[in-house]
Amino acid sequence: MTPPQEPQTPREPTQRPRQKDRPWLMRTYAGHSTAEASNALYRRNLAKGQTGLSVAFDLPTQTGYDPDHILARGEVGRVGVPVSHLGDMRRLFQDIPLEHMNTSMTINATAMWLLALYQVVAEEQGADIAQLQGTTQNDIVKEYLSRGTHVFPPGPSLRLTTDMIAYTVSHIPKWNPINICSYHLQEAGATPVQEIAYAMSTAIAVLDAVRDAGQVPEEKFGDVVARISFFVNAGVRFIEEMCKMRAFGRIWDQITRERYGIENAKQRRFRYGVQVNSLGLTEAQPENNVQRIVLEMLAVTLSKDARARAVQLPAWNEALGLPRPWDQQWSLRIQQVLAHESDLLEYEDIFAGSHVVEKKVDELVAESLAEIDRIQEMGGAMAAVESGYLKSQLVASHAERRARIEAGEEKIVGVNIYETTEPNPLTADLDTAIMTVDHAVEAKVVRAIGEWRTTREESSDRQGLGDPFHYPTTRQAIERLKEAAAGTENLMEATLECVRAGVTTGEWAGALREVFGEFRAPTGVSSAPVAVTAEEGSPLALVREKVRRSGEELGGKLRLLVGKPGLDGHSNGAEQIAVRARDAGFEVVYQGIRLTPEQIVSAALAEDVHCVGLSILSGSHAELVPDVLARLREAGAADLPVIVGGIIPSADAAQLKAAGVAAVFTPKDFGITEIIGRIVDEIRQANQLDPLEVPA
């Protein structure tokens, strides 16, 4: 007999636990000194759990010069790794299997060249290039506006970008051939609306150019859209930055669907990587930068629907100089703690349904679309660059931001509020709190490229290819490149031939310079509106009076030359000094970026200026500033005061002053009006005028 059954309690339906999201790619922007040193750094970072590479190239590589070019002096290996030819690229990625790596290369004007080098090294490793994954930044518009490593005019630059996109879609389909970069726009002062609008206008210009070039079949245009990626900035205003990313995604979806007819939602996804804001990192109380970095990272990771695909964080001491490997490790660990210790990746979007977020996103979308329409009415992003509109808008926005900081309206802890501080153990020995590049590195790299040319020459001679002094194989590849550039064919194949022939970075760019010419972007200074009013009794009014009276005593209007020697294209600081000096009553001579010391001294003498101001953020001040001083002495103008601004360690600042520099300003000197007043004081002292007190 069967015993009676117990009544069955209904079971809850079995729910499978939600699968945890994959973490974003974790990168550290890195590279310095030499290919060998950078390779060792990459392998150490990968061993520490970094999941992708982000290559920083030095300024000669970025601007298409070999390390022995006059403009490269003092810049070799400073802000990134020098890559002058195929041999350097081999050493940079030695023992790193490129077929299994995701590599981001921050390179723009010479992006095609660096991608070709990367492809050939991968082929030599035995990789299937169709499997290569990574990104070339390749956004030339923001170089014209903010970063300053442009080379060619807008038309040819857009052609290089178009050719790269067409080539990668066919041959390296997993590669992102462009990373439209609004990061540096924010660094140059862009508001969230400007950041969105200018980046989207760039994307429209690029996609229109690819579509109209006819190199990609219409049925594959969705693949082009799917490989467009973005690189954005995340500032410390958490809510605004997170909403900005949601607005970016919404506008991109609308543009790609309505303007280009992309029906596949996956191809319309807004794919972006991020580096959080370096502009807001402070030299004063730099330990505060750690919490700034964390807060900025949360803005691009907390919201699943607007989460970055890749994140790289600056280091706490970037406002002081080049971070050390330990500093980079700290930034990597910040990401790893959030991704692996918190429960962030276990939930759906935690901001979905927030009326606060939706309202802010709606506002950003509407204002950004209006600005995009305004730019399209001008003829698009390239026309707005050439007219100077975009640059002048950024200079004005940055000037307004600086004015708010100086007035205390925009508060920065440790800078304009809560300035009292305990001694900082992190910077107790400031000279060891950052990494320095040995001055001998440049000479070593210069020797190495000479050896490369000699070896290349001997190899050609042994093959019986003719007069070794003319590098026949190399010359043929360069001539082939020029012919292609003068015509309409895709330039990638001719560039690959140059790589395999041993052509150098400077030779490749030099050949294209011959065909395309060079471009000096508008500075935006003359058209920038007044950001700080000179109302009676205001700090600027007092400085204006000092400028006026000093000019009268010296027999005319005070004249200031603002110079950017070398290849450093970070012109934001120089532009802000130039604008404020103009508003204070100076006649300002500012010719933009990328000048030799000889050109700066010649301009100073020709314009009969009362002071020379040099702005250098790349670390080349130790070589370039003494050169300017020496040339002024040789010209009989040793009494002309020279001031210097930039990221300059205290020991270097002391050496510059000992060499004859009148004053050194660093990021902690945020009061621009005060700096202009100091410049007037230095002019008076150099001309043996009595100190001038202007009553308030």
CATH number where 584 lies: 3.40.50.280
C-beta separation of 300 from 311 below 8 A? yes
The encoded tokens of residue 484 equal 């292609």
- Residue 49 domain-assigned (yes or no): yes
Predicted confidence band at 280 (pLDDT cuts at 50, 70, 90)?
Answer: confident
SS3 602: helix
Q: Helices 154-171 and 192-213, interaxial angle, to 10°?
A: 70
Residue of 14 and 357 predicted with greater confidence: 357
pLDDT in tens, 354-386: 999 999 999 999 999 999 999 999 999 999 999
Task: Look at residues 180, 211, 177, 221 and name the one whose alpha carbon lies nearest to residue 198.
Answer: 180
Contact 571, 436 (CB under 8 A): no
The secondary structure of residue 516, as a DSSP letter, is H
Mean pLDDT, all residues of the chain? 91
Of the two residues 208 and 189, the one the predictor is more confident about is 208
Last residue of some domain: 348, 371, 387? 387
The owner of tokens 């992006």 is 111
Residue 529: pLDDT band with limits 50, 70, 90: low
115/122 Cα distance (integer angstroms): 10
Tell me the residue ranges of DSSP E strands in 595-687. Answer: 611-616, 642-646, 663-665
Token digits of residue 183: 């990061």
Phi first, then psi: give them for residue 593, nearest 5 degrees: -95, 175
- Residue whose pair of structure tokens reads 């030099």 in the numeric block: 510
Token representation of residue 600: 């700066």
Residue carrying structure tokens 């020709």: 606
What is the pLDDT at residue 605?
A: 97
Task: For the chain, give the longest Cα–Cα distance.
Answer: 123
- Residues tagged active-site: 29, 183-184, 564, 568, 570
Q: What are phi and psi of 502, to 5 degrees?
A: 90, 15
**Overall domain count for the chain:** 2
Summarised one tens digit per residue, pLDDT across range 191-201 is 999 999 999 99
> What pLDDT does residue 695 have?
61
| Per-residue pLDDT, 696 | 52
In a domain, 141, yes or no: yes
Mean pLDDT of 280-309: 93
Domain assignment present for residue 586? The answer is yes
CATH of the domain at 251: 3.20.20.240
Q: Of 335, 362, 387, which one is at a domain's C-terminal end?
A: 387
Q: Amino acid identity, residue 160?
A: L
- 181: in domain: yes
User: What pLDDT does residue 521 have?
Assistant: 79
Two tokens at 340? 């692996």
Coil, helix or strand for 595?
strand
What kind and span of H or E run contains 246?
A: helix 238-258
Residue 34 has pLDDT above 80, yes or no: yes
Q: Whole-angstrom Cα distance, residue 559 to residue 585? A: 9
441 inside domain: no
Residue 462 lies in a domain: no
Q: Which two tokens stand for residue 67?
A: 């390390």
Which residue has 């000992």 as its token pair? 658
pTM over 0.75: yes
Nearest Cα residue to 652 out of 682, 686, 623, 683: 623
d(CA 256, CA 635): 59
Q: What is the average per-residue pLDDT within 487-516? A: 97
Compute the distance between CA of residue 167 and CA of residue 187 in angstroms, rounded to an integer: 31
Out of 335, 368, 387, pick the residue that ends a domain: 387
Asked if residue 328 belongs to a domain, the reply is yes
Dist. CA 276–CA 300, nearest whole Å: 9
Rounded percentage of the chain residues whose pLDDT exceeds 90: 78
| pLDDT value of position 26 | 92
In the DSSP assignment, the letter for residue 145 is I
SS3 392: helix
What pLDDT, on the 0 to 100 scale, is given for residue 69? 96
- Above 50 in pLDDT, residue 112? yes
Specify the pLDDT at position 536. 83
User: Which residues pair with residue 587 across a beta bridge?
Assistant: 559
- Which value, in Å, is the radius of gyration of the alpha carbons in the chain? 27
Mean pLDDT for the stretch of residues 14-21: 68
Could you give the angle at which helices 325-341 and 288-299 cross, rounded to 10 degrees?
Answer: 40
The amino acid sitting at 397 is S
**Quick one: which of 624, 632, 609, 613 has its CA closest to 687?**
609
Burial category of 548 from C-beta neighbours within 10 Å (exposed 0-12, middle 13-18, buried 19 and up): middle
Residue 468: band (very low, low, confident or very high) from pLDDT cuts 50, 70, 90: very low
CB 557 within 8 A of CB 64: no
Q: Tokens 């077929």 identify what position?
A: 99
For 204-238, b/e burial (b = at least 16 CB within 10 A) is bbbbbbbbebebbeeeebbbbbbbbbbbbbbbbbe
> How far from 252 is each of 33, 197, 224, 230, 373, CA to CA, in Å?
39, 11, 14, 11, 14
Contact in structure between 105 and 135 (CB atoms under 8 Å): yes
Identity at 207, one-letter amino acid code? L
Beta-carbon contacts of 217 under 8 Å, excluding residues fewer than 6 positions away, are none
C-alpha to C-alpha distance for 264 and 276, rounded to whole angstroms: 30
pLDDT confidence of residue 469:
34
- Confidence bin at 496 (pLDDT 50/70/90): very high
Whole-angstrom Cα distance, residue 234 to residue 277?
Answer: 5
Looking at the domain assignment, is residue 245 inside a domain?
yes
When mean pLDDT is compared across 79-83, 124-128, 679-683, 692-696, the lowest value belongs to 692-696
The per-residue pLDDT for range 533-592, each reduced to its tens digit, is: 778 888 999 999 999 999 999 999 999 999 999 999 888 889 999 999 999 999 999 988
* C-alpha distances out from residue 624 to 436, 588, 600, 618, 620, Å: 17, 22, 11, 11, 6
User: What is d(CA 324, CA 441) in angstroms, rounded to the nearest whole number?
Assistant: 17
**Which residues span the domain enclosing 262?**
25-387
Whether the CB-CB separation of 55 and 61 falls below 8 Å is answered with no
Joined tokens for residue 374: 């305004």
Please, is 403 exposed, middle or buried when counting C-beta atoms within 10 Å of its C-beta (0-12, 13-18, 19+)? buried
- Which range is least confidently modeled, 245-254, 394-403, 469-478, 624-633? 469-478
